[in-house]
């Protein structure tokens, strides 16, 4: 989920690749902006915290259906399968001073109170807040409303609910949001011509369309989506899928750093049509000087645990704790091998 997740670090990528200011401004002006986070909402006391959401929906930002060839490439069933779950949730913390960013992957199946849904709080999996709020609000909208406007208002309700749910569950304010759908991810990888990954062992899964040998390899756009969607046949299921998303991001950052601005033209155009960012968020200002990103996977709390919040909040506190000075170490692989 990057374009389930590439957004998570799109601004970091732009800066790291040295993209021209004029190109950045052109992209920034073209991206759809959300007002789902109120101006008077609680804010981070240090740095900036962003919720990155990768949606399961196959529809575009106006609710339209992708062409048949795109749906076939997604290998994910018909256009309405999957609804509007936020299947990829990443909390990205950008520090106020020197130091790297920290990306915390929140497993989608953690149970949580779902906030921001009309009619009162509900309980369910954390990924479900978006879709439930969207459906509830759309039932109240006039039937004469333009379908694209109805889609936008429904999604704005979904964004508000997902932000409220995640920040309450994890105990951290969310300053901004970034969103991309499954079809947006496909368009990103298509613009890039695929991506390089590395697998510890050969794997195949008919549900996602994954069928890969072991070792380093270059994936086509369709294979890239299968790579980040696969969970069947992996030792740790959804948690391994989360680590694949992180590996994909690492590979994408490495690719764009290596190739520089030349790789960003097609990606910039994709962003205009597939990304939603918070209103008023100057991404470039937020990420200037950030040297890199550290990934952490938060725990998946057992379903029989009555409240997942304490374990998740403890893990967030530990992950965001400032690290002390350390000596030089071996540089991490830009394309780590994963299951």
Strand 215-219 to strand 195-199: parallel, antiparallel, or no bridges (unpaired)?
antiparallel
Report CA Rg, the chain: 19
Q: For residue 25, give the DSSP letter.
A: H
Please say whether the beta carbons of 133 and 116 come within 8 A: yes
Strand 337-338 to strand 195-199: parallel, antiparallel, or no bridges (unpaired)?
parallel
> For residue 273, is pLDDT > 60?
yes
CA-to-CA distance for 44 and 23, rounded, in angstroms? 29
The predicted-structure confidence for 147-180, as pLDDT tens digits, reads as follows 999 999 999 999 999 999 999 999 999 999 988 8
Other residues' Cβ atoms within 10 Å of the Cβ of residue 283: 24
- More confident position, 318 or 26: 318
Please say whether the beta carbons of 272 and 262 come within 8 A: no
Strand 86-94 to strand 48-55: parallel, antiparallel, or no bridges (unpaired)?
antiparallel
- Residue 45 CB contacts under 8 Å (≥ 6 apart), including other chains: none
- More confident position, 316 or 10: 316
Q: For 189, phi and psi rounded to 5 degrees? A: -65, -30
Query: What share of the chain in percent tops pLDDT 70?
Result: 79
Q: What is the pTM of this model?
A: 0.83
- Residue that the structure tokens 């969207």 belong to: 134
CA-to-CA distance for 277 and 294, rounded, in angstroms? 22
- Residue that the structure tokens 């732009």 belong to: 14
Please say whether the beta carbons of 294 and 100 come within 8 A: yes
The predicted-structure confidence for 209-266, as pLDDT tens digits, reads as follows 889 999 999 988 888 888 887 878 888 877 787 788 778 777 776 766 666 555 556 6
Other residues' Cβ atoms within 10 Å of the Cβ of residue 224: 26
The predicted-structure confidence for 68-86, as pLDDT tens digits, reads as follows 777 776 665 667 776 899 9
- Of the listed ranges 42-56, 126-140, 274-288, 314-328, the least confidently predicted one is 314-328
Closest CA to 232 of 270, 206, 258: 206
Please say whether the beta carbons of 316 and 298 come within 8 A: yes
Closest CA to 92 of 227, 196, 194, 245: 245
- With H, G, I as helix, E, B as strand and everything else as coil, classify residue 123: strand
- Residue that the structure tokens 């409303």 belong to: 145
List helix spans (H) across the chain: 10-16, 21-30, 68-74, 129-138, 147-170, 182-192, 221-229, 238-259, 264-274, 283-287, 309-320
Q: For residue 119, give the DSSP letter.
A: T
Please say whether the beta carbons of 97 and 294 come within 8 A: no
- Residue that the structure tokens 């950008």 belong to: 94
- Residue that the structure tokens 């590979």 belong to: 251
CA-to-CA distance for 295 and 92, rounded, in angstroms? 9
The predicted-structure confidence for 126-147, as pLDDT tens digits, reads as follows 999 999 999 999 999 999 999 9
């Amino acid at each position: 989920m990057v374009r389930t997740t590439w957004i998570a670090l799109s601004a970091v990528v732009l800066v790291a690749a040295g993209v021209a200011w004029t190109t950045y401004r052109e992209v920034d002006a073209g991206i759809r902006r959300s007002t789902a986070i109120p101006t008077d909402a609680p804010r981070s006391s240090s740095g900036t915290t962003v919720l990155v959401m990768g949606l399961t929906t196959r529809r575009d930002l106006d609710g339209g259906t992708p062409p048949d060839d795109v749906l076939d490439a997604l290998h994910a069933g018909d256009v309405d399968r999957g609804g509007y779950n936020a299947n990829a949730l990443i909390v990205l913390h950008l520090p106020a001073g020197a130091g790297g960013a920290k990306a915390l992957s929140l497993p989608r199946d953690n149970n949580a109170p779902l906030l921001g849904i009309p009619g009162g709080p509900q309980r369910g999996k954390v990924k479900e807040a978006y879709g439930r709020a969207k459906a509830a609000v759309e039932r109240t909208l006039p039937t004469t409303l333009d379908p694209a406007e109805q889609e936008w208002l429904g999604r704005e309700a979904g964004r508000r609910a997902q932000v409220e749910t995640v920040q309450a569950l994890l105990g951290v304010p969310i300053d901004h949001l970034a969103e991309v759908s499954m079809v947006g991810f496909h368009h990103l990888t298509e613009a890039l011509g695929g991506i390089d990954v590395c697998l510890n062992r050969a794997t195949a899964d008919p549900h996602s369309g994954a069928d890969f040998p072991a070792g380093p390899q270059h994936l086509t756009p369709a294979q890239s989506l299968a790579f980040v969607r696969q969970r069947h046949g992996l030792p740790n299921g959804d948690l391994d899928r989360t680590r694949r998303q992180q590996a994909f991001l690492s590979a994408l950052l490495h690719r764009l750093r290596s190739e520089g601005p030349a790789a960003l033209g097609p990606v910039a155009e994709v962003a205009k049509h597939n990304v939603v960012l918070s209103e008023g968020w100057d991404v470039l200002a937020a990420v200037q000087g950030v040297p890199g990103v550290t990934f952490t996977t938060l725990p998946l709390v057992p379903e029989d645990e009555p409240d997942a919040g304490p374990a998740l909040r403890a893990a967030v506190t530990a992950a965001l704790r400032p690290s002390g000075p350390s000596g030089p170490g071996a540089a991490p692989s830009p394309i780590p091998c994963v299951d």
